[in-house]
Structure 1
Amino acid sequence: MQRYDYLIVGAGMVAANAVDGIRERDSEGSIGILGAESRGPVTRPALSKKLWTDPDFGYDKIWMQPEQDPGTTLHVDTRVSAIDRQARKVTTRTGETFGYGQLLLATGCEPIRLDLAESERVRYFRSVDDYDHLRRLAGAGRHIAVVGGSYIGSELAAALIQNDCRVTLICPEPVLGGGMLPAEVADRLHQTYLDRGVALLSGRTVKTGREVDGTVTLELDDGSELAADGVMLGLGVEPCTELAQAAGLEVDGGILVDERLRTADAAIYAAGDVATYPDRILGRWHAEHVDNANCQGAAVGRIMAGSDEAYTHTPYFYSNVFDIAWKALGRLDATLEIVADSADDKGIYYYLEAGRVVGVLLLGFDEAPLDAAREVLAEPGPQDAATLTGRIPLA
């Protein structure tokens, strides 16, 4: 049995940042990373953004490579099937065992799937392999259907239409982004996709599909069908909590951890997409975004290596499509009361619940005032248009 002082299950962005965090305090401890995918950590947002839209951002720039640390070993194609908390070891599906001094669960999320098998032309988009498949398929005017109107789906549709593809985006909302964004922003987003040539099938969902002779045919909820050369699905994700649950760790929308990112087992931590943690502003929180992966990964590494800090960062999330760029914190729910403070193409939108700001959307800023937004979120209220208008400068 191989044994590591620090064993990380999951080879994503959290793992790479955790190695850096550990090395800030412990230069000698052995680190093992067990990753289910065939390659190591990458800057995952680039797979649906910069690799498609920035000609100066090459494929070589996505790799994080924590294994370049001489005391770190990366094991790919390694899926952990069980944790023995008493013996402090994990077992893989192939029967290998790895012991640990401290264990970090950074298993991330898995895409939500339909009754449609994955193939060369059908991918539930998340990994580098998915990107590679799509790159081979894209171009030459081929028709790609993108299913799902949230982050991955909307970003992929924007990327593909700019890379010589015919694109149909299928989303459940009548207006793209309408469940999350203020009406005026969602309307602008929807119209921008139409203006750029994306065919929008809004208010529609996919029930199932079939692939025959190089064509994928989707059956929609209204009984209609859509044929395409390829299908990319971005239907959201679900945290990979099964391993933790089987080990008797508490789960509630993610693996429950305290302010030091530790589970009820003092030797086991969780961070990133798979963790539910006590945010100092937002309360019990679950964040599936890159800022949290970076900051929480580094913090949990330092904590595992002896730091007495707590994780106090409230992460932001963002999206860039065409000429629309935004960052946000907290809850974006279009059914909440929304106070708009906007001018030209720049705006700040406050989401209120019972008079308290629970979410802030920052639209069109080169340098978004994230700290100022965090200050507003931290206040108990009550707030309204009179107290919020002009609170954060638009200039």
Structure 2
Amino acid sequence: MRYDYDYLIIGGGMVADAAAKGIRERDESGTIGIVGEEPTAPFPRPALSKKLWTDPDFDKESAALATADETGATLHLETRATSLDREAKVVGTVGGDEFGYGQLLLATGGHPRRLDGLEASDRVLYYRTLTDYDRLRELAAGGPDVAVVGGGYIGSEVAAALVQNGATVTVYHPGERLLDHMLPDSITADLEKAFTDAGVTLRAGVKVEGGESGDGSVTLRLDDGSSVEADVAVVGLGIEASDALARAGGLEVAEGGGVVVDERLHTSDPAVLAAGDVAQYPDRILGRRRVEHVDNADQMGAVVGRILAGSDETYDHTPMFYSDLFDYGYEAVGTLDASLETVVVDKGEGNAVVYYVDDEEVVGVLLWGVWDSTDAAREVLARHSRPTSFDGLI
């Protein structure tokens, strides 16, 4: 089957939704096609590990983005794009369909990092999609014993969500403390106490090397040669940029992954743009980088949509990210790398601002329990310096 669109978006996530709505801000009638691998319409991913688990008054209908209804875009779901002919302006799919375009947006996002030998199954979830959420909700209803593999951003959120919904949870992670690659010791100590007080078992200094799933359980192989069993395994080891289509089309791709774009989100082909998790872009404050968070998806998606429809703007937003874990929460801007020098400014009542310093320059700001200060954090980062005093900056 052959389809043709004025605007073709590859990827069915939050960037696709924001881009379609951005297009409609400037072009009311141009045809929009969205081609996505997932079986569901664009959906806000943060809700999958946050509010859908913790707010009983919040449900999938409340979170739905209504992309097609609000923009008139045609959704092609469960469709994987595999080839890009930039001369003919055609994208091909694994099923043999062809999609012609006037302008193309690559919003392919990322795919979860996988463990060798541990295949996804009904009981092994590489957690990322609404389908994963639906399956985990079904499993969680029985109060299962869940092994969470990874103690980072997603692993910590999923563990907190599950234990608050009746599951028995054990987190396996290679660090000394949960989230210790991001957070200073003064914060991780209190955070770990919140997890253990809630009933989560933390297995620090442990790597899961593989495993297998059976009809009713999962066996995980650990790096010390031992094995453990659980009813369910949820793997949260981060994502890798899904840039295979860009590579297939001969576009410039960064060495560490991600499609290289300029400040107007154009690739090396002026008819092809990229945005979201897959885009490696020049941040106006922090330099060239790739960001995997919702604020970037929303803001960059809206901007790229307007650019596709003729806007002359550039993308000049430095995105923030956030998390909620039990009674703790934070917002942050920039690089949170606990191996850097960290300066902790105590704000009282367990709240703090943490500055991450690299080569005499603040490169990241963590707002732990401190809200509505991300603009101030951006101002600190934009100075590209080490303050003589950190008190009073935020």
Provide the TM-score with structure 1 as the length reference.
Answer: 0.97
CA separation in 1, counterparts of 2:268 and 2:170?
46
Q: 2:149 aligns with which of 147, 150, 161?
A: 147
- Contact kept? 1:362, 1:368, Cα under 8 Å: no
213 and 75 in structure 1: CA distance in 2 versus 1, 3 angstrom threshold: closer
2:184 counterpart residue number? 182
1:325 counterpart residue number? 329
- Contact kept? 1:177, 1:189, Cα under 8 Å: no
CA separation in 1, counterparts of 2:268 and 2:143?
53
Q: 1:347 aligns with which of 352, 375, 384?
A: 352
CA separation in 2, counterparts of 1:58 and 1:36?
23
Q: CA deviation at 1:141?
A: 3.0
CA separation in 2, counterparts of 1:203 and 1:191?
17
Q: CA deviation at 1:31?
A: 0.3
Q: 2:299 aligns with which of 295, 301, 311?
A: 295
CA separation in 2, counterparts of 1:382 and 1:165?
45
Q: 1:208 aligns with which of 207, 210, 221?
A: 210
Q: 1:357 aligns with which of 358, 362, 365?
A: 362
- Contact kept? 2:40, 2:77, Cα under 8 Å: yes
Q: What is the 5 A alignment of 1:158-307?
A: 158-252=160-254, 253-307=257-311
Q: Does 1:389 align with 2:385?
A: no
CA separation in 1, counterparts of 2:78 and 2:243?
19
Gaps of 5+ in 1: none
CA separation in 2, counterparts of 1:59 and 1:304?
30
CA separation in 1, counterparts of 2:94 and 2:305?
26
Q: Residue 29 of structure 1 aligns to a residue in which SS?
A: coil
CA separation in 2, counterparts of 1:250 and 1:228?
43
The AA in structure 2 aligned to 1:42 is F
Q: CA deviation at 1:71?
A: 3.5
Q: Deviations over 1:35-72 (max 9, x none)?
A: 11111100111011111110010121232121114641
Q: Deviations over 1:125-152 (max 9, x none)?
A: 0011111111111133320111011111
- Contact kept? 2:24, 2:71, Cα under 8 Å: no
Q: CA deviation at 1:382?
A: 3.3
CA separation in 1, counterparts of 2:233 and 2:168?
12
Q: Deviations over 1:323-365 (max 9, x none)?
A: 1100111110111111111122111110001111000000102
Tell me which moved more, 153-162 or 130-139.
Answer: 130-139
- Contact kept? 1:44, 1:62, Cα under 8 Å: no
The AA in structure 2 aligned to 1:235 is L
CA separation in 1, counterparts of 2:152 and 2:63?
23
- Contact kept? 1:29, 1:71, Cα under 8 Å: no
161 and 275 in structure 1: CA distance in 2 versus 1, 3 angstrom threshold: same
Q: Deviations over 1:231-280 (max 9, x none)?
A: 11111110001110111111113100000000010000000000000000
The AA in structure 2 aligned to 1:148 is G
State the superposition RMSD in angstroms: 1.1
Q: Residue 100 of structure 2 aligns to a residue in which SS?
A: strand
The AA in structure 1 aligned to 2:57 is D
The AA in structure 2 aligned to 1:251 is V
2:132 counterpart residue number? 130
Tell me which moved more, 186-195 or 276-285.
Answer: 186-195
The AA in structure 1 aligned to 2:69 is Q
The AA in structure 1 aligned to 2:379 is E
CA separation in 2, counterparts of 1:147 and 1:70?
38
Q: Does 1:4 align with 2:9?
A: no
Q: Residue 331 of structure 2 aligns to a residue in which SS?
A: strand
Poorly superposed stretches of 4+, deviation over 6 Å: none
Q: Does 1:157 align with 2:156?
A: no
- Contact kept? 1:142, 1:166, Cα under 8 Å: yes
- Contact kept? 2:23, 2:309, Cα under 8 Å: yes
CA separation in 2, counterparts of 1:14 and 1:217?
36
Q: CA deviation at 1:213?
A: 4.0
- Contact kept? 2:20, 2:71, Cα under 8 Å: no
Gaps of 5+ in 2: none
255 and 211 in structure 1: CA distance in 2 versus 1, 3 angstrom threshold: same
2:92 counterpart residue number? 91
305 and 235 in structure 1: CA distance in 2 versus 1, 3 angstrom threshold: same
Q: CA deviation at 1:211?
A: 2.2
CA separation in 1, counterparts of 2:75 and 2:62?
19
The AA in structure 2 aligned to 1:178 is D
Q: Residue 389 of structure 2 aligns to a residue in which SS?
A: helix
118 and 382 in structure 1: CA distance in 2 versus 1, 3 angstrom threshold: closer
Identity %: 54
- Contact kept? 1:357, 1:376, Cα under 8 Å: yes
- Contact kept? 2:113, 2:239, Cα under 8 Å: yes
The AA in structure 1 aligned to 2:172 is I
